[in-house]
Amino acid sequence: MKQTTVTGVGRAVVALSCAAALVVSGCGSEVLGQGSVATGPVPGTNPDAQPGVGSPPPGVEPPPAGAVVDYQIGGAYAPAADVEVVIRNRSESPVNGVYSVCYLNAFQAQPDEASAWTGRHADLVLRDPGGDAVVDTEWDEPLLDISSDAKRSRLAAIVDAWLADCADRGFRAVEPDNLDSWTRSRERLTRADAVAYAELLADRAHARGLAVAQKNAAELTDEEIRRVGFDYAVAEDCQRYSWGRGSECDRYLAAYGDRVIEIEYTDGGTRAFETACRLRGDRISVLLRDRDVVPRGERGYVNRSC
């Protein structure tokens, strides 16, 4: 999940130079919906160009474009009758008759699963020179060490068991979160590490008939996207963060066409969501959620679609 503090803005882009040709968020950015509206393309991209991704592999079907999506990663509940896609944590069950996406934290360790990363897996947690775990402090999640081929292969084997479980229970796609963990790694991981690891995960997911999302990391190039084999994108707060005359969203649209699920969060206000609905709500899935993504009925719950 994209962060919202100054450190969090860096979660999407801190590893980039502000002069990079592709989309970045944060460096000199404006907050859309609070005095600015995207009016043009992202430098270095052409939103009208053909998408950078190819057709999904046989037997793999991405979420339907423009569908009503219910983002339930904070807890499962019965979706409304008009919901066509539901995204749930891998610990939950898919919804019968609804296209279900299995959310999994593939690049960082969940706080409640710390014991799984001890013993023979302890070296798969990224550590600083002093031996302490490198932690995403906003979510209290240790980063996984994807810095070598050997470790990436071991991690992919672990995640493959999760993918198998998702597929066996009826999920049709996966959302591997924290692709951009290298931006929080204190320069101990690289973007190339993330792309190489994501490619392993996509290969395994496709082998199990699961479509694979690019989650955030708008700075990836078309070449990197094609190399990994992503099938669709899940973009958090892409309307909220702008670059020049465009927004992060332009980058996803240029790469994926209408295969984009955009989530704007309420801690940034509602104007970015309203702007997104006006600009592309008739093409892609756009929804507004509370930052903690709490289940319906809990305090703070917000869930709107265009």
Domains of the chain: 6-305 (3.20.20.70)
Determine the Cα–Cα distance for residues 303 and 195; give it in Å rounded to an integer: 32
Cα–chain center distance at 87: 12
Neighbour tally for 295: CB within 10 Å: 14
Determine the Cα–Cα distance for residues 190 and 197; give it in Å rounded to an integer: 11
Determine the Cα–Cα distance for residues 245 and 257; give it in Å rounded to an integer: 19
The mean predicted confidence, pLDDT, of the chain is 86
Give every residue of the chain whose pLDDT is below 70, as ranges.
Answer: 1-52, 242-246
> Which stretch of DSSP H or E encloses residue 233?
strand 232-236
Q: Confirm if 252 and 53 have CB atoms less than 8 A apart.
A: no
**Each residue's pLDDT tens digit, 167-215:** 999 999 999 999 999 999 999 999 999 999 999 999 999 999 999 999 9
The residue written with tokens 């897996």 in the block is 121
Q: What is the pLDDT, as a whole number, of residue 241?
A: 85
**Each residue's pLDDT tens digit, 90-116:** 999 999 999 999 999 999 999 988 888
